[in-house]
Chains A and B, each alone.
Chain A
């Protein structure tokens, strides 16, 4: 970056909850995304590990976030997404966008979209592409 240039901040003004639902303890991806979103201008809340879908939905509502990012590497993405989306709707916050990232087989992506994921990310996507997709999804 050139000296004096402002870093691009496509997510300025957005508040995003990065969450680890279920028991999966692999948090490197969630933390990388949380740090990258913060660098892109977003206000980021990271839940830490092992949170229940209900807890995640309540934090999302209490903090009035624009989006929830779920990081799941245990193969339980269908169940956990369904539960978080269900809890958000039950709390009257169905408009909060949900993004899913993790070890997600390509053939599962459509099913996750049908369950309410606005976008599905995997670890081989460049961070810039993830941020662009989020900015577009939250515009």
Chain B
């Protein structure tokens, strides 16, 4: 399909909602309450970004802790306001670097963090009391969070001063991202334990970020992304209540995480609808009356699978548009992908452009001046209502199946997402979804990658292994063994919260692999239901 063929503008947003050529008052319901008021359709804060600009948080991390530490210091010097730690796959899957499956992947997609010793190096010279840190970790989230707490303890920083987020959303891992370790139900316990522990020990820390992003990137529509994420959110609420949590309290610390793709108004409507649905569900279904606990707080990634390897500089424009959608949708934290992220770890130069994009949107574009600037637009208000209906319909299907936990245990949700991904791919192939440079407006020489390429140091993996062995040799073996033994015993009692035991293990320099192995003994491993 060549560039000469005129493309038509579709009348349907990708979630499958037909929109009018002209929206009018007739398409809208009554005006929404102002921002900061239930059900928060227009935003959770009355003063929007005037009170505080969103957190600009770029995801990075690779190789050894020292190398990542240098990149973090660079980003902080450039004006970044929070850190986001990418961890390598062995750490995410709870395997130590010496494991045979781990070896080819050490330090590849993030930093290797096998014990507290590595974390101490990772945050060398960075003030944990001042910087908020986000860890993209799920299967082994409780261990990494325990390590962060132990790291603060070691430096004499009071736990309650820690701010940041662990993703800790295991349900979506079974659907899209794949770093599960244990079966679904014990994983839910571990997640609930870390949230309940955090409520007391680190009250300013977000112990979970319930994520739709990866399901979206796997192929879901915007409406499906929001629906499945909210369904997962409800499953955590149920588990937390089952483990004795007070919903008015723990719901204050639940936060969410999404992708922003290219349909600008659909994205804004998705977030507006999400805020409204969550607040209503918490109030109507769980009797939550605390306004802070009803608030739907979320961070986003701009980029992901909406970026293309073809004509990579086009991605800078895509990310800027998505960044606008995130701001007008009222995100609390934004990560903008680098233009080369579709095919490699970003270089320092591409990572800088991504951060500059946010700064331009924040301080030059003016979109952050007035809260919910699209509120009252007949188009956006009516699209918000349509998205809400669509999302509630999809949530009803998950409910009808038996809820999110059963849906992922059986592989039902995985199958739905895979089929949707196939449909999306076929739509792109058929030019139903135009992607510039991929299925239209191509040019023959576009496959060439841009000049600078990031190269991972080939010796990084050897250094990780060497340091791992040093830590094992240096630690107090008896203390590590005792801490691991107590963890294993606690795992056998359902009423015990496992977090204090994990923190003790970290203090004793027990490794992530050792902690995970002890829990696997009792819980086993997730057996993936492969349904296509």
Interface residues of A (CB under 8 A from B): 22-28, 31-32, 34-36, 38, 44, 46-50, 52, 74-76, 79-80, 83, 103-107, 122-124, 126-128
* Contact in complex: B438, A74 (CB < 8 Å): no
In the assembly, what is the distance between CA of A116 and CA of B449, in Å?
23
16 other A-B residue contacts (CB within 8 Å) besides A32-B421, A49-B178, A124-B435: A24-B178, A25-B179, A26-B178, A28-B217, A28-B421, A31-B532, A44-B532, A46-B530, A46-B532, A75-B345, A103-B343, A105-B343, A105-B449, A105-B453, A107-B449, A127-B429
Range class of the B interface residue count = 35 or more
Label chain A's interface by main secondary structure. loop
* Contact in complex: A31, B418 (CB < 8 Å): yes
In the assembly, what is the distance between CA of A26 and CA of B178, in Å?
6
* Contact in complex: A32, B95 (CB < 8 Å): no
* Contact in complex: A25, B178 (CB < 8 Å): yes
Contacts of B217 in A (CB 8 A): 28
Q: Is B177 an interface residue (CB 8 A)?
A: yes
* Contact in complex: A35, B418 (CB < 8 Å): yes
Shortest distance between the CB of B66 and any CB in chain A (Å): 20
Q: Is B432 an interface residue (CB 8 A)?
A: no
Contacts of B522 in A (CB 8 A): none
In the assembly, what is the distance between CA of A52 and CA of B95, in Å?
14
* Contact in complex: A107, B453 (CB < 8 Å): yes
Indicate the member of B417, B418, B447 with the most A CB atoms within 10 Å: B418
Stretch at the interface among B100-108, B200-208, B391-399, B463-471: B100-108
Contacts of A44 in B (CB 8 A): 532
* Contact in complex: A124, B308 (CB < 8 Å): yes
Shortest distance between the CB of A25 and any CB in chain B (Å): 2
Chain A residue nearest to B90 (CB atoms) is A23
Contacts of B425 in A (CB 8 A): 32, 36, 127
* Contact in complex: A27, B178 (CB < 8 Å): yes
Label chain B's interface by main secondary structure. loop
Interface residues of B (CB under 8 A from A): 89-90, 92-93, 95, 100-102, 104-105, 108-109, 173, 176-180, 217-219, 305, 308-310, 342-345, 417-419, 421-422, 425-426, 429, 435, 438-439, 447-449, 453, 456, 528, 530, 532
* Contact in complex: A28, B176 (CB < 8 Å): yes
Given contacts A23-B105, A52-B101, A127-B429, contact A28 B449 (CB under 8 A): no
Contacts of A28 in B (CB 8 A): 176, 217-219, 417-418, 421
Shortest distance between the CB of B512 and any CB in chain A (Å): 13
* Contact in complex: A38, B421 (CB < 8 Å): no
Q: Which 4 A-B pairs have the closest CB atoms?
A: A25-B178, A28-B218, A23-B89, A79-B104
* Contact in complex: B108, A32 (CB < 8 Å): no
Chain B residue nearest to A29 (CB atoms) is B421
Given contacts A22-B105, A23-B105, A28-B421, contact A48 B449 (CB under 8 A): no
Contacts of A38 in B (CB 8 A): 532
* Contact in complex: B109, A74 (CB < 8 Å): yes
Shortest distance between the CB of A8 and any CB in chain B (Å): 14
In the assembly, what is the distance between CA of A28 and CA of B176, in Å?
7
Contacts of A104 in B (CB 8 A): 343
Chain A residue nearest to B341 (CB atoms) is A103
Chain A residue nearest to B91 (CB atoms) is A23
Shortest distance between the CB of B186 and any CB in chain A (Å): 18
In the assembly, what is the distance between CA of A75 and CA of B344, in Å?
8
Shortest distance between the CB of B140 and any CB in chain A (Å): 12
Chain B residue nearest to A78 (CB atoms) is B104
* Contact in complex: B89, A35 (CB < 8 Å): no
Shortest distance between the CB of A6 and any CB in chain B (Å): 18
Contacts of A22 in B (CB 8 A): 89, 101, 104-105
In the assembly, what is the distance between CA of A36 and CA of B219, in Å?
15
In the assembly, what is the distance between CA of A48 and CA of B21, in Å?
45
* Contact in complex: B309, A76 (CB < 8 Å): no
Shortest distance between the CB of B214 and any CB in chain A (Å): 8
* Contact in complex: B89, A26 (CB < 8 Å): no
* Contact in complex: A76, B108 (CB < 8 Å): yes
Contacts of B180 in A (CB 8 A): 25
In the assembly, what is the distance between CA of A127 and CA of B419, in Å?
14
